[in-house]
Amino acid sequence: MKIFITGVQGSGKSTLFRILTSAEEGSNSWISEVEDKRILTLHGLYPDKKVTKIKFEYQDLPPIPEGGKPLSQYLDSLKIADLIIYVVKNFNGDEPLRKIDMFEEELRISDLAVLENSIQNLEKDLKKMKSPEKEREHELLLKIKNEIDAGRPVRESLLTSEEIRFIKGFAFLSFKPVLYAINVSEGETDKIYDENLKIKRKGLITVSFSGRLELEISQLDAESREEFLKEWGLKDFAKERIESSIIECMDMIIFYTIGKDEIRGWLIPSGTKAIKAAGAIHTDMEKGFIRAEVISFEELMKIGSLKEAKEHGLIRIEGKDYLVKDGDIIYIRFTS
């Protein structure tokens, strides 16, 4: 998963990149394992097995240019991202929520230019020759344009799964999930949990962090980290806080497999059926799917081991249409 981190000069975006990746200063691209306490707990039950965590690929982009053609070209570079992190400062009277609205407007303006050009070309084609397919495409693009004209991003449009598949080729920026990371000063760490700074809409979430302070904490050993968290009144680590927000913003969940030699986490869209989750592990499992044997993380922790869970009848047998839940531990039965 490609995650692009952007923001204006001095926003703290490179600091956030280093918090998330532990990369050396000056690096701008890094693949980092996601912090996942559940998989470490599972490893504690089975210490002889290898652990494979989910990985994110982070890109720390150059600062956003101000206005004009360079901004348009810069925004185009975001189109290959799976998720955008936009870092905004909240120091000394800054207005982070206003800056979020401004960036959202820039995304919509970028999409509007693409839409107007595409609609114009379609209308020229339809004048030459009628086509039911192109008429449907024209109708869909007009529908999306009306949403943007009304100040709504593409991600909030009511689209069918077929329409979503169709518009993916346009790479609309306001369709992409955006995590707005609000950087607060060291003296205002209470703002990290301030409800007034929290926004949660479809594909848009805000999360706060204190860049300079939390970078220092991230570079300490485990014991010292815990002490500093208490000293500064922090409930969690910035990396955990932000990565869980990324997963939520993407509307995804994590399920786990415990194999002969490996414990592994898998990231899938929420609402995924068991047969598609099997396909995320291996296409052969999806093709030959028989059933899924499932236990939740919480249930496994209560009983202590898969062996005990089986003996007490706590492993559920689920069919291909079972909707996988976050934290499920799944074993797929399939024919090869």
Give per-residue pLDDT as tens, 25-74: 889 999 999 999 999 999 999 999 999 999 999 999 999 987 666 888 89
**Residue in the structure block whose two tokens are 């993380």:** 297
DSSP state of 154: G
Confidence of residue 94 (pLDDT cuts 50, 70, 90): confident
* pTM for the whole structure: 0.93
The answer to whether position 8 is within a domain reads: no
For residue 260, give its domain range.
252-334
* Rounded Cα gap, residues 138 and 142, in angstroms: 6
- The domain tally of the chain equals 1
Q: What is the pLDDT, as a whole number, of residue 127?
A: 87
What average pLDDT score do residues 251-270 get?
97
CATH of the domain at 295: 3.10.20.30
Q: What is the pLDDT of residue 57?
A: 98
Mean pLDDT score of the chain: 94
- Concatenated DSSP letters of 157-211: S---HHHHHHHGGGT-GGGS-EEEEEEE-GGGGGGGG-GGG--EETTEEEEEE-H
* 31 domain residue, yes or no: no
Q: Is residue 324 in some structural domain?
A: yes
- Residue 323 is given by DSSP the state B
Domain annotation covers residue 198: no
In the chain, how many H helices and how many E strands?
13, 13
Residue among 61, 69, 60, 74 nearest 19 (CA): 60
Q: Is residue 68 part of a domain?
A: no
C-alpha distances in angstroms, 312 versus 291, 302, 315?
Answer: 20, 12, 8
In a domain, 271, yes or no: yes
Residue 315 DSSP one-character state:
P
The predicted pLDDT at position 75 comes to: 92
What confidence tier does 24 reach under pLDDT thresholds 50, 70, 90? confident
In a domain, 108, yes or no: no
Per this entry, what is the length of the chain?
336
Q: What pLDDT digit, counting tens, does each position of 98-150 carry?
A: 999 999 999 999 999 999 999 999 999 888 888 888 899 999 999 999 999 99
Tokens representing 316?
């559920």
Q: Which residue, 70, 22, 6, 75, is CA-closest to 238? A: 22
Query: What mean pLDDT comes out for the span 227-247?
Result: 93
3-state helix/strand/coil string of 22-81: CCCCCCCEEEEECCCHHHHHHHHHCCCCEEECCEEEEEECCCCCCCHHHHHHHHHHHHHC
> Mean pLDDT across the stretch 79-86?
97
Is residue 253 within 8 A of residue 325, CB to CB? The reply is yes
Do the beta carbons of residue 280 and residue 266 sit within 8 Å?
A: yes
Nearest to 256 by CA among 34, 35, 42: 42
268-299 pLDDT per residue, tens: 999 999 999 999 999 999 999 999 999 999 99
Question: Tell me: the pLDDT tens digits for 162-206?
Answer: 999 999 999 999 999 999 999 999 888 889 999 989 999 999 999
Task: State the pLDDT at residue 145.
Answer: 96
Do the domain assignments include residue 276?
yes
Question: Is the pLDDT score of 97 beyond 70?
Answer: yes
Sign, CA dihedral 10-12-15-17, equals negative
Do residues 114 and 150 touch, judged by C-beta distance below 8 A? no
Provide the pLDDT for residue 114.
95
Q: What pLDDT is attached to residue 316?
A: 96
Q: What is the mean pLDDT of residues 319-332?
A: 98
